[in-house]
Amino acid sequence: MKRVEEGKEEIKEKYKDKKEEKAEVESDITEAIQENEDINEEEKQNDKDLKQNESHIKLQIVKSSLLRKEVLYKIVTFTALAIVVITCFSVAGIFYASSVKMEEEKRKELEEEEQEEVAVDEEIKNNKIPVYTEEAKERMKHIYEWVGEEEKIAYLTFDDGPSENITPQILEILKNEDVKATFFVLGSRVELRPELVKRAYEEGHYIANHGYSHVYTSIYSSAQAVLDEYNNTERKIKEAIGNEEYSSHLFRFPGGSEGGKYAKVKNAAKALLEENNISHINWNSLTNDAVGKPTHESLLQDLKITQNGKNKIVVLMHDTGTKQLTADTLPEIIHYLKEQGYVFKNFYDIMY
């Protein structure tokens, strides 16, 4: 009986143990189910979060795409504008550069032309060859009232030389005073003193023509005789200065070109000279150094009287062998004219 009871108790204990095991198993199952549900819930939440993230990412992608498009549009627009601006500036730059280049080329052409003209002028002056142009012809005709020159100008002229004693003195004075003059030489005197003509020429003085003989009955026998004496004297000048290209184109009639016993011949000679490109010139101021018995005072006084009130003066003097008084008075004559505001020129300043 006791063993039966012990067996029952043992069975009860086993049953109890089984029950507890079952309870534990059920509890484990419940926990596993709960855990599985939690996992499912978490997965659902993760899926939801993932979907939200995907939506956010898609939205960000769309926004980013729109932003890129906007930026790209701005870049394209800016680039297009930049290209337009650069193109405009480039075109403007090309036109400006082209314009500047054209202006520079024009300026260079003008400078080259001016330089050529200056070079030609300098060559002519260096060679001391008068150039007889239409302008020079007109200026010679209107030398006393030439409109283009407002300054006071004095042309010192010396007739009837050269002479061995007076001409060298006059040349020395002119050199010291830095004055260029004009010498109306006689062909017959050039033959005797060619070295003085050459010196005057080389020192920058203008060698003009006063005929060959200074004998009125000879030179004024006809208009052709005037031209013949002129041509003969020109040949003597060329020989004296050693320049066959030289031609003075300038004649002074012995005794002047106006009136007197030979007026008719002189008038015909004027026309003949002009046909041969030869101007003639008289004077509008003088010292009267070839009249009577002048004195130092009378030479200065006559100059002042005949110069007064004139802006352009052609002063008549002589450098023959008897005109020592002219050489002695010349420095005072030059100083006086300088004080009156005159500048000194010769006919190179017209025929250049």
Per-residue model confidence as pLDDT tens digits over 134-171: 999 999 999 987 655 578 999 999 999 999 999 999 99
Please tell me the predicted confidence (pLDDT) of residue 349: 95
Look at 144 and 322; give whichever has higher pLDDT: 322
Share of the chain above pLDDT 70, in %: 68
Average pLDDT over residues 282-292: 97
Among 210, 214, 280, 318, which one carries the catalytic annotation? Answer: 318
What is the pTM for the complete model shown? 0.66
Max mean pLDDT among 59-73, 78-92, 109-123, 137-151 falls in 137-151
Please tell me the predicted confidence (pLDDT) of residue 112: 81
Half-sphere exposure of 238 (CA within 13 A, CB side): 12
Burial of 295 (0-12, 13-18, 19+ CB in 10 A): exposed
Contact, 210 vs 255, CB < 8 A? no
Among 159, 160, 289, 319, which one carries the catalytic annotation? Answer: 159
Please tell me the predicted confidence (pLDDT) of residue 47: 63
Contact, 180 vs 204, CB < 8 A? yes
Contact, 183 vs 176, CB < 8 A? no
Average pLDDT over residues 22-33: 64
Please tell me the predicted confidence (pLDDT) of residue 88: 47
Q: Is pLDDT of 80 > 60? A: no
CATH class of 134-349: alpha beta
* pLDDT 10s digits, 161-216: 999 999 999 999 999 999 999 999 999 999 999 999 999 999 999 999 999 999 99
Q: How far is CA 111 from CA 82, 105, 107, 114, in A?
A: 41, 10, 6, 5
Please tell me the predicted confidence (pLDDT) of residue 145: 79
Q: Which of 47-51, 62-66, 260-264 has the lowest mean pLDDT?
A: 62-66
Max mean pLDDT among 85-94, 113-122, 340-349 falls in 340-349
Look at 92 and 132; give whichever has higher pLDDT: 132
Q: Is pLDDT of 98 > 80? A: no
Pairing type for strands 285-286 and 312-318 reads parallel
pLDDT band of residue 76 (cuts 50, 70, 90) is: very low
Q: Which of 17-26, 70-79, 241-250 has the lowest mean pLDDT?
A: 70-79
Q: Which of 7-16, 98-107, 189-198, 234-243 has the lowest mean pLDDT?
A: 7-16
Please tell me the predicted confidence (pLDDT) of residue 101: 77
Share the mean pLDDT of the chain. Answer: 84
Average pLDDT over residues 29-58: 62
Q: Is pLDDT of 341 > 50? A: yes
CB atoms within 10 A of CB 126: 8
CA distance 146 to 312: 8
Name residue 133's amino acid.
T
Q: Is pLDDT of 29 > 90? A: no
Q: Is pLDDT of 232 > 70? A: yes
Tell me, yes or no, if 318 is annotated catalytic: yes
